A = this chain, B = another copy of it.
């Protein structure tokens, strides 16, 4: 996270969410706080290892916070920070485009 930032703003964004899994994690956290296990279910196809490493990296970039509840069994919750939440417009435009791309194919 102490990487130097590229000059191009698009590249800055890519540096933080330029990977499929992060976008999907983001999509699901935009609906609200989720537990590790919930994310594992909702982000279809992701493995535990990959989910963990992406969450760690998103934590480092201050996109998500991780809260551990000292219970048995343990519970860990992930929540978007304000910065993380501010990515919503990007996700929204991706959703709009995907939807229209699909409609177009059905014509």
Contact = CB atoms under 8 A, between A and B. Distances in A.
Interface of A: 5, 8-14, 16, 18-20, 23-24, 27, 83, 86-87, 89-102, 104-105
Tell me the number of copies of this protein. 2
B89 A12 contact: no
- A contact patch SS: helix
Contacts of A23: 10, 14, 18
Contacts of A83: 101, 104
Contacts of A100: 86
Given A5-B102, A83-B101, 18 more contacts: A9-B96, A9-B99, A10-B24, A10-B27, A11-B24, A11-B98, A12-B98, A12-B99, A13-B95, A13-B101, A14-B20, A14-B24, A18-B20, A18-B23, A83-B104, A87-B97, A89-B93, A90-B94
